Amino acid sequence: MTACMRRMVAGTLAATLAWTPVSLLADGRFAKANLVVPKDDGKAQELEGALVSDSRAKQLRFETGGRATVEIPYDRVKGLLYERAAKPRYGMGLLLAWPLLFTKSKKHFVTVQYTDASGAGKFEIIRLDKGNVTMALATLEADMGIKVERSEEK
| pTM summary value | 0.71
Which is higher by pLDDT, 99 or 142?
142
Do the bridges between strand 29-38 and strand 44-54 make them parallel or antiparallel, or are there none, so unpaired?
antiparallel
Burial of 33 (0-12, 13-18, 19+ CB in 10 A): buried
Separation between Cα atoms, residue 37 and residue 49, nearest integer Å: 13
Question: Is the per-residue pLDDT at 90 higher than 70?
Answer: no
Question: Is the per-residue pLDDT at 109 higher than 80?
Answer: yes
Question: Is the per-residue pLDDT at 29 higher than 60?
Answer: yes
So what's the pLDDT on residue 8?
Answer: 66
Tell which CATH architecture fits domain 23-152: Roll (2.30)
Phi, psi of 14 (to 5 degrees): -65, -40
Show me where the domains of the chain are located: 23-152
What does the pLDDT average to over 92-116? 73
Instruction: Tell me the residue type at 76.
Output: R
Question: Could you tell me which of 128, 108, 111 has the C-alpha nearest to residue 48?
Answer: 128
Separation between Cα atoms, residue 19 and residue 22, nearest integer Å: 9
- Mean of pLDDT over the chain: 81
Cα first-last separation, the chain: 49
**Residue 126, CB-side half-sphere exposure with 13 Å CA sphere:** 32
pLDDT digits (tens, 9 = 90+) for 34-87: 999 988 888 889 999 999 999 999 999 999 988 999 999 999 999 999 998 876
**Chain center to CA of 9:** 32
So what's the pLDDT on residue 21?
Answer: 47
What is the three-class DSSP state of 80?
Answer: strand
Give the pLDDT band (50/70/90) at residue 98.
low
